[in-house]
Amino acid sequence: MTESVATKRKFDSLQQEAYLSLWRTYDRLRALEEKLFQTHGLTAQQYNVLRILNASSESMPTLAIASKLVSRAPDITRMLDKLETAGWIDRVRSPDDRRSVLIEITAAGRKKLKELEGPLAEMHEEQLGHVAAKDLRLLCDLLAKIRSPHEPEGTSW
């Protein structure tokens, strides 16, 4: 009810409403995530780098990490600089291809991830605990359908 009234008043089209709703919802949930990461001294993107490295059994070249990240990262180099300074990753020039730089997570990096596990689960509960699992599943499937034509070839998304 209120929805459709609001729609008529505020949006030019259903597509616009969908996009702005997506943006708004992301923004609201992001605020919670950012607050958490801030207290632990890293950013969401930095956390995702560690998560990706941890999930991979081996070290990965710089740009391979960038392509797996949630959000584009043209400044991946400087992001890794910070992670390296914090001691959470190591950089090694690949012997096979001296252009590429292999990144691996350090013990300290794994420790940091471990430390974040609990708080992160709590934060996700705060973000989405009020939503039924079947709705979340539905949401994930809808979103996958929505973004599929916009994914680059051979992406892991």
Nearer to DNA, 61 or 124 (CB): 61
Q: Tell which positions 123-152 bind a copy of itself, by CB under 8 A.
A: 124-125, 127-131, 133, 135-147, 149-151
The b-or-e profile of 65-77 (16+ CB within 10 A means b, else e) is bbbbbeeebeebe
Q: Which residue has the tokens 């632990």?
A: 40
In sequence order, the β-bridge partners of residue 102 are 61, 92
Nearer to a copy of itself, 30 or 78 (CB): 30
The site string for a copy of itself over 25-64 (x = CB under 8 A, - otherwise) reads: xxxxxxxxx---------------------x---------
Residue 23 site contact among DNA, a copy of itself, none (CB < 5 to 8 Å, cut-off depends on kind): a copy of itself
What is the distance between the alpha carbons of residues 27 and 73, in angstroms, rounded to a whole number? 19
